[in-house]
Each structure stands twice: as structure tokens, then as C-alpha cells.
A = this chain, B = another copy of it.
């Protein structure tokens, strides 16, 4: 079963209809995401909107999955780069983006001519089922086999099965570096391909010439948004010594005003963590932080109530503390001081992860240094915006322990296809490359 027999523009038309079906239920799905995952409603709706955007984008892409015709050095030869579907793409997603990550992968995988086998997070079965129902409805309406898009609600054993199945040439995995590496090993053993979106440990650098207000608002969104459970959440804040105290004071002030509560309620900025385990993890994290010399400037405690609520937390800590090198999946922000751009970039690049990063400055020489060969070593390199909130037109993903995969825009679609360098001799002679004469 594959969708490669249907032409790419027709596959695009199917994806367009999926987008339409989602658009018709945007508010409901947004609420469901919010309800099941715990992020606030505008973020829930934004996540569904992102899937819709991906559908629209993929429709256009379905007429632009272009190969190349490359000049051949041999007369009467045509050299081409041709892109063909892989067959089946396995997509393993995480709880924090229960549908957007599926959207990034499935929209592209489908227009590229693949079938999709999706494993959602075990804790977000409702959104998995809802999305699958919607896709299934569109397939049915177009008299296409439902097997083009299959979903599973389940745990590690399903992931394991996908990783080991030789019928699935590509496994796209989003989750922790630890699990991702294990998946990768399984897939490579059977000579499959991986697309990995693993842990981040993202820093925001605020230079002394920065627009402080812009920076503070951005840090708040980047560190507290989705309760710190985005892979692009800002976890490290590097402040130039000259504006260190100013920014910190404003930030602590703003943190105290963050409205915590029901994510579906208007005005709430911080909902609960996703599970009791997440809450427990937060508690343990705070203990480690303290043990390693971290100073809690605000927050640091769980909130005694129904639900996995914790306080948004700011920690003053040394860049060399071990805990700073790891991803603590919650609203905990480490603040550090630096003196020079060079030092800030070194701290930014000193962790294993390489997903997102951001600087606040208005100096062109700093901006271009930051995005250049001696700047941030991350896959996402921002200026005057938060570490999170990517647009679909660009390629999303990170370097180093973040896994190296790229999803959504740019030429990410190439990962979902098989590249063939084809040379057709339509003449009757056999000239050889590099002018070789044989026999």
C-alpha cells in the first residue's frame, strides 16, 4: 500500500482537503489540545493552526518537489536528479505538541507519496484519535485506502516495533535525546533512515544595547509558554553585566504577575505540567539546582492544588553548574551574567544540545557575527525574538545532541524522498566520464 501511484498534485489535493477539515474544527481541536496536553487555549489553537498552515504549504509543494536536469559531460546523455517516495514513513511524536509535529511530518510525507504510520504520545490519545478520524474521513471521501494514514495509541513497545520494522524506511522521531539515540540505533541496524528532533537547551542572550522591554516579553513567552515544555523553551538567559540587574528585576516582577490556572480560561498564561511525573521531575530538579549552588530568585515550588501546577521559576546559577547542561522539562529559567559577546556565544554553545538560540541587540556587527561561522551553533538562530515560535516556511530542527533532523519548510521534504542520480544514454555510443578509454 502506498500513495505513489497517485500524482503529486493529486496527493496535494488530498492534503488540502485535510486542511479544510481541520479548519472547520479549529476551535474544537484547539480546545482538545489544551484540555488533554495542558497548554493554554491560544497555544492549543495556534498548534492546530500550524497543522492547517502545513497543509496549505504542502499543497503548493506538491507541484514543486522538483528534481534537476544536470548538464552531462557526455554527448547524447541526459543526467537527472530524480526524487521518489520512500514508501512508508513512521512518525513518533511527543506529548508537548500532540498534533503540530504530526502535521509537520505527515503533510510533507503524504505529498511526497508516502504512507504514514503514526504513534502519538501515550498520554494524548484523544488528539491522536481526533486527528486520525479527520484524516480517515478525507481518505474515505476520496475513495482512498485508509492504510495511507495509520495511527497507534500506545507506548514504547509500539515505538520499538516501528524502529525495527524494515518496511518503514524512514522513522521521524521527536522526543528526548536518550530515547532518540536508542531509536536511531535500531533503525540504523536495519539500514533505515532517521529524522530526529531531540532535546533542546536553548539560551537567550541579552546585549547591553538591547530593547529591554522586547527582551523581557520574549523571555517570558520563551520560558513560561507551554509551561516550559517546548523543545524550544528558553532554559538559559545570558545577560550582559551592564543590563543584568535591570532585566532581572523586570523579569522577576513580570513572573510574579503570571496568571496560573485552568489553561482553557481566558487570561491564563501558565497551565499545569502534563503529568504528575512531570511535577515530580520539577521537584527533583529544584533540589539538584539548589545542591549545585543555584539561587531561586522567584518560584521554585509546586502549587498545592488539583492538577500538576508549579511556579514559574528563575534561578541565578553559574554556567558551569552541571544541571545547566541538561534539559529540565518545566518552567525553570537559569540566569547567568557575561561580559563580552564572545563569552556569551561560548556559553550558548557549551551544551550538548543545539536546537534554538536568540540574541537581543540592534548592532549589525553583533547580529551578523551571531548568525555567522563563529556565532550560535544551533539549528535555529534568532535575533530580537524568542527561541520558540518557529514559522513553517523555514526548516525546523537542531544540531549536535538535538539530532540534526529538519522538518517543515525549506528543502526538508527531501528527507521524505529517495534521491536517484540518473543518467540516460540515448545515443548509440559509449563515451566514458573523465575521458577514460576502456577496451
A277 interfacial by beta-carbon distance below 8 Å: no
Q: A406-B419, A422-B382 are in contact. Are A438 and B225 (CB under 8 A)?
A: yes
Q: A432 contacts which of B113, B221, B384, B418 (Cβ < 8 Å)? A: B221
A193 interfacial by beta-carbon distance below 8 Å: yes
CA distance A161 to B368 in the complex (A): 35
Taking each of A65, A69, A368, A375, which has the highest tally of chain B beta carbons within 10 Å of its own beta carbon?
A69
CA distance A421 to B394 in the complex (A): 6
Chain B nearest CB from A2 CB (Å) reads 8
CB closest residue in chain B, given A177:
B191
A367 interfacial by beta-carbon distance below 8 Å: yes
With a cutoff of 8 Å between Cβ atoms, the chain B residues found around residue A8 in the complex are: 71-73
Q: Is the Cβ of A10 less than 8 Å from the Cβ of B73?
A: yes
Q: A61 contacts which of B60, B80, B411 (Cβ < 8 Å)? A: B60
With a cutoff of 8 Å between Cβ atoms, the chain B residues found around residue A69 in the complex are: 66-69, 80-83
Chain B nearest CB from A167 CB (Å) reads 13
Q: A391 contacts which of B73, B381, B430 (Cβ < 8 Å)? A: B73
Q: Is the Cβ of A389 less than 8 Å from the Cβ of B67?
A: no
Q: A75-B7, A382-B422, A426-B384 are in contact. Are A68 and B410 (CB under 8 A)?
A: yes
With a cutoff of 8 Å between Cβ atoms, the chain B residues found around residue A75 in the complex are: 5, 7
Q: Is the Cβ of B225 less than 8 Å from the Cβ of A113?
A: no
With a cutoff of 8 Å between Cβ atoms, the chain B residues found around residue A368 in the complex are: 76, 78, 424, 426
Chain B nearest CB from A342 CB (Å) reads 14
Interface residues of A (CB under 8 A from B): 2, 4-5, 7-10, 12-13, 16, 42-43, 46-47, 49-50, 53, 56-85, 113, 181, 184-185, 188, 191, 193, 211, 214, 217-218, 220-221, 225, 269, 352, 362-365, 367-368, 371-385, 389-396, 399-401, 404, 406, 409-411, 418-428, 430, 432-439
Q: List 26 A-B contacts (CB under 8 A).
A: A8-B71, A16-B56, A46-B433, A50-B433, A57-B60, A60-B63, A68-B410, A73-B393, A76-B368, A81-B394, A84-B375, A193-B404, A217-B439, A362-B363, A364-B364, A364-B367, A365-B426, A380-B422, A381-B420, A381-B421, A381-B422, A382-B425, A385-B425, A385-B430, A392-B433, A406-B419
